[in-house]
Amino acid sequence: MTSGSMTGSAGTGGAGERPARVRYAPSPTGDPHVGNIRTAVWAWLHARHTGGQFIVRIEDTDQARKIEGSVERILGSLEWLGLDWDEGPDIGGPFGPYVQSERLPLYHEAVERLLASRDAYRCFCTAEELDAMRERQRAEKRPPGYEGKCRAIPPTEAEERAKSEPHVIRFAVPDEGTTVCHDLLRGRIEVENSTLDDFVILKSDRYPTYHLAHVVDDHAMEITHVTRGDEWIPSMPRHCLLFDALGYERPIFVHTSIILAPGGGKLSKRHGAKSMLEYAEDGYLPDAVFNFLCITGWGYGDETVMSRQQLIDVFEIENIGLNPATFDMEKLTWMNGVYIRQTPVEELSEMIARRLEVELPPDVPRPVDRALVEAVTPLIQERIQTLAEVTPLIDFFWQSEIAPPPPEEFLQKRWKDRASDAASALERVAAATEEVEPFEAGPLEERMRSLCEELEVKAGDLFTLIRIAVTGRRVSPPLFESMEIVGRGVCVDRLRAASASLAAVSAP
Ligand code: GLU
């Protein structure tokens, strides 16, 4: 039996600069939530900051909770965020395999050692017996937990029974003493061993529990830092007991706080608790999300927008905040706009093209005309905060015909009840558009401004008519630049079509 009072050999202070081996160890039970991914961001940054390794390990020992396709989506999320891994399920590495269900012999070997040293024992209690025990504990208002009945079975008898009886293996927690653990952010955490029950380390299906599996793996994979959510703090003493009983050096534990919704409370989908792949669909740039997640709960002075390299340079894992951070969706969207404006036009236009490929109506020929995308991109780069805004803003460039917008679209404010005025104004615009030379934004605007004077109409009022006629909408990229791209012929056709539809309204 291991002594109950102990202090870890690691985790007592600063991370130092020795290359860290940090792992991200998701269970394939669905898409990882943002809090979980933020921990991966920090783990990755710590690995890169120290020149160490970032390792991905799939923790699939709870076979019942496995969701098909999860691993692909988890890896896809990391890839999208630019969190590259040095070892992992798909690429292998010196400590593979990196999927726990493929490492069962390692856990069985650890269990044998713990049985031999009497740090573990076989438990034959049936589900009914355990239920009855829990019931009793409830009735007597005692804390739940296994009471150690099977600990008393002599090992040779247990061996014999194990040949035919289903059973689990439990860790024998010392009855007395305390277990002292260290968390890099929280310092010393101490518990009385008497408050810990003999927890299961190997289930009856011969799969290990998380507790055992991650201890064995973190040791075998030479992990230096266990970064994970603070929901694992209550289990940490058990893990420390396991590390010690197996004679393994403890890693440095870094438990990160949760992310809260604005105003406190659980983060809901509306507040940003979406998967990474949904952020991709919603038009966020990976670099912006990466930057945002990093500074949600960690900070470097008042800096907000920082490049990946800057973050790698200045990230100090010790400075992760203990107070739960609030998820500020508005800030993320603002930051995304900043990143969009910083993106070189060619790169942004490629991103835009990829969205258009998916989102434009099927009658638009594919591949989408790249030269046109490159011409349009500078018109909207300053105006959008997410890529989701793009298609509705610019799809008219790809439509050879747009149905003339309904007359009521035009007949507002200045043009209310003045369909015939609007029709003739648009006819004048069409004529001017036919003549203006060269057909470029500058001369077009100049010509339209003088037409405003001739018609005694405010620029805003006339331009609204033109905008609706040419683009089919009230909000568009800059009007005259758009007209230049759409081309003279199409502009004239659309202006005449709109004029005709308004004339029809005004006809007696
Ligand atoms: N598989 C555990 C989870 O997804 C990992 C916890 C850890 O990082 O140790 O919560």
Same domain, 371 and 489: no
pLDDT of 402: 77
Question: 11 C-alpha to center of ligand 1: Å?
Answer: 19
Cβ atoms 412, 468 nearer than 8 A: no
In a domain, 175, yes or no: yes
Q: Which atom of ligand 1 is nearest to the CA of 232?
A: 6
DSSP state of 140: T
Spacing of C-alpha 285 from chain mean position: 11
Mutate to test the pocket of ligand 1, among 22, 38, 59 (most ligand atoms within 8 A of CB): 59
Q: What is the pLDDT of residues 28-79, one digit of tens each?
A: 999 988 999 999 999 999 999 999 999 999 999 998 999 999 999 999 999 9
Which residues constitute the domain of residue 210? 103-256
Spell out which residues line ligand 1, taking CB within 6 angstroms: 25-27, 59, 210, 214, 226, 228, 232
Last residue of a domain, one of 256, 277, 310: 256
The total of structural domains in the chain comes to 3
For residue 184, is it within any domain? yes
Which pLDDT does position 253 carry in this prediction? 98
> Do 130 and 245 belong to one domain?
yes
In a domain, 249, yes or no: yes
388 and 462 in a single domain? The answer is no
Query: What's the pLDDT at 269?
Result: 80
Do residue 356 and residue 418 come from a single domain? no
What pLDDT is stored for residue 13 in this prediction?
A: 36
The CA distance from 40 to 36, in Å, is 7
Domain co-membership, 500 together with 359 = no
Q: Catalytic residue among 266, 269, 416, 458, which? A: 269
Q: Is residue 487 in a domain?
A: yes
Tell me if 69 is assigned to some domain. no
Q: Which atom of ligand 1 is nearest to the CA of 29?
A: 4
Q: How far is the CA of 85 from the centre of ligand 1 (A)?
A: 17
Q: Evaluate whether residue 365 is within a structural domain.
A: yes
Decide which of 397, 424, 458 is a domain's last residue: 397
Protein residue closest via CA to atom 2 of ligand 1: 26
Q: Are residues 388 and 437 in the same domain?
A: no
| CA nearest ligand 1 atom 3, residue | 26
CATH number (domain holding residue 366): 1.10.8
Question: CA 64, 69, 72: angle at the middle one, nearest 5?
Answer: 125
Long-range contacts of range 63-67, CB-CB < 8 Å, 24 or more positions apart?
63/101, 63/205, 63/207, 65/27, 65/29, 66/28, 66/29, 67/28, 67/29, 67/30
Are residues 473 and 373 located together in one domain of the fold? no
For residue 467, the domain's CATH number is 1.10.10.350
Say whether both 470 and 421 belong to one domain: yes
The verdict on 364 and 497 lying in the same domain is: no
How far, in Å, from the CA of 27 to the mean position of ligand 1?
Answer: 7
**Which residue numbers in the chain have pLDDT < 70?**
1-16, 508
- 163 Cβ partners below 8 Å, 6+ apart? none
The pTM score is 0.90
Q: What is the pLDDT of residue 7?
A: 35
Do 201 and 228 sit in the same domain of this protein?
Answer: yes
Co-location of 438 and 371 in the same domain: no
CATH assignment at residue 167:
3.40.50.620
Could you tell which of 66, 228, 250 is best to mutate to test the pocket of ligand 1, judged by most ligand atoms within 8 Å of the CB? Answer: 228
Using alpha carbons, select from 407, 386, 379, 25 the residue that is nearest to residue 226. Answer: 25
Judge whether 313 lies within some domain: no
- Asked if residue 95 is part of any domain, the answer here is no
Tell me the per-residue pLDDT of 222-263, one tens digit each, with 9 for 90 and over.
999 999 999 999 999 999 999 999 999 999 999 999 999 988
66 in catalytic set: no
Tell me the C-alpha distance between 147 and 135, whole Å: 13
- Ligand 1 centroid distance, CA of 261 (Å): 22
Co-location of 452 and 491 in the same domain? yes
Where helices occur in 343-418 by DSSP H, the ranges are 345-359, 370-380, 390-394, 407-410
Q: How far is the CA of 227 from the centre of ligand 1 (A)?
A: 9
Q: What are the structure tokens assigned to 68, written together?
A: 């098909």
* Residue that finishes a domain, picked among 256, 283, 315: 256
